[in-house]
Amino acid sequence: MQKALEQLKKIDAEITALEGAQAVLEWDQQVYMPERGVHARSEQTAGLAAIVHQKNTDPVIGDLLDKLGVSDENPLGSADLEDDDRRLVREIHRDFQRATRLPADLVSKIARVTSIAQSVWAEARRKSQFSLFQPHLEEIVKLSLEVAERLGYEAHPYDALVDQYEPEMTTAEIARVFRELREALVPLVRDIAAARQIDNSVLLKAFPVDRQEAFSRATLEALQFDMSRGRLDRSVHPFTTSLGPDDVRLTTRYDEHFFPTALFGTIHEAGHGLYELGFSRRFRGTRLASGASLGIHESMSRFWENVVGRSRAFWHHFYPVMKAEFPDQLSGVDLESFYRAINRVEPSLIRVEADEVTYSLHIILRFELERMLIGGELRVADLPHAWREQSQDLLGIVPDSDANGVLQDIHWSGGAIGYFPTYALGNVYGLQFTSRMRTDIPAMDNLLRQGDLVPVKAWLDEHIHSVGRSRTPGELCEEVTGEPMSAQPFIDYLTRKYTDIYDL
């Protein structure tokens, strides 16, 4: 059994290394690749995807799992294995079962189609013409349906797609949680709209991009993001990717006349990066050195961006630093005015720039559209119109263009249907974790006022980061908080915070 385990770990390490190479190609395409390089890159990504798929579906893996006592009924394998090894074989078994249901030609086709689609999406977004992207998205939806059918599902084909990003989550469970959020957030947004609006004109002044970039890098240092193990670049759509255990790439984008775009975008991506850099060293070279799910990943980025980065306590220390960097722009603006400005609530068109109250409504919009697309209730050609209707219903505003509506996100062009719900689930997980953290660190706000983020990061390293993929999202939530996933802590947090800010 020990020999079987060693052989399985060797295969896992090879797959992990190849996935790092895939990440290099994908990162380069979004950051540095010249525009006309897309077709050659699509062949490269498709070829590498085929190799990785072949590795993942090697019958030897199934034989080794059998020798280790792993089965659908007993995914953790033999009780004689160490706990970490049982967690590893469970994840290998899960991935093997999924991979063997998808033929290599389908995997290669998806890689090729999405590589080209991402380039077309960027052009369509620049020109604000959904018609350019429509045939590519139609092909992606068709391929996604084929994936769902091959993977299998019990209630809805969307279940199979969501499960790729949020293990063991179902469409019905997402709908339940999102219904609770919608019922709480829509009235809160309405109450805020009826209150006196906050002046955020200070954020609309001219902030030179080079100084924004310098401040973003200084912020990463304050958040303890190790730049010797990572870097910060620019991209059309901010993202984080891990090329290896000591190579985590962050990207952001800058708007000279709206500083929060880069400021909070960088803090958000730093949360993802800190998670990637915090996996236990004993998991290095294995698939356990990855996030438990995208929802858990998003809980870390939303925690740093909003719970910390938009708090009074954080800016009590960092606002004087920022004023020193931008003395002209922030002249005469006190801490309380700045704090309220960065927490202004106003329905907006762009998800990545949405305030934390309306943000989840953007995700509910996308979830409803995806569910209808995959369920056959909505045609791709009708997507722009459906988007405008949902935006009016949830946010009270209608996009003025495709670029500010249906084309604003990169995810569909990459084939990531089923991904969007994890963003709002991240809000939910994050506030459950925060509630437990405040119990363990009762002086948390005082520490933030002093600019001491070390205890906060250490808590996350111990309870969330280091655990990696050794726990499912449900297991991690139960172990850390003692309860299953619940939207109530997030709802309570928003209600308290914005009742105070808007004097509701």
Catalytic residue set = 269
Q: How many CB atoms are closer than 10 A to CB 263? A: 22
Q: What is the pLDDT of residue 46?
A: 87
Angle at 339 between CA 337 and CA 341, to 5 degrees: 70
Report yes or no: 259 and 244 within 8 Å, Cβ to Cβ. Answer: no
First-to-final CA distance of the chain: 64
pLDDT per residue as tens digits for the range 310-352: 999 999 999 999 999 999 999 999 999 999 999 999 999 989 8
Q: Which position has the token pair 């600019």?
A: 451
Q: What are phi and psi of 247, to 5 degrees?
A: -150, 85
How crowded is the C-beta side of 157, counted as CA atoms within 13 Å?
19
Contacts 24+ apart (CB under 8 A), 112-116: 112/42, 112/43, 112/45, 112/46, 113/139, 113/140, 113/143, 113/415, 114/140, 114/413, 114/414, 114/415, 115/29, 115/38, 115/41, 115/42, 115/45, 115/46, 116/38, 116/39, 116/42
Report yes or no: 254 and 234 within 8 Å, Cβ to Cβ. Answer: yes
Q: Which two tokens stand for residue 182?
A: 């919608």
User: What's the whole-number average pLDDT of the chain?
Assistant: 95
CA distance 181 to 490: 9
Q: Where are the alpha helices (DSSP H) in 413-472?
A: 421-440, 444-449, 454-460
CA of 154: how far to CAs of 22, 148, 173, in Å? 32, 11, 13
CA-nearest of 157, 172, 109, 186 to 360 is: 186
pLDDT per residue as tens digits for the range 208-265: 999 999 999 999 999 999 999 999 999 887 899 999 999 999 999 999 998 898 999 9
pLDDT per residue as tens digits for the range 32-65: 999 899 889 989 998 999 899 999 999 999 999 9
How crowded is the C-beta side of 123, counted as CA atoms within 13 Å?
13
Residues constituting the chain: 504
pLDDT interval class at 23 (50, 70, 90): very high
Q: Which domains does the chain have, with CATH numbers?
A: 2-152 (no CATH), 171-501 (1.10.1370.30)
The amino acid present at 466, given as its one-letter code, is S
Does the pLDDT of residue 205 top 90, yes or no? Answer: yes
Give the pTM: 0.91
Report yes or no: 294 and 318 within 8 Å, Cβ to Cβ. Answer: no
CA distance 174 to 180: 10
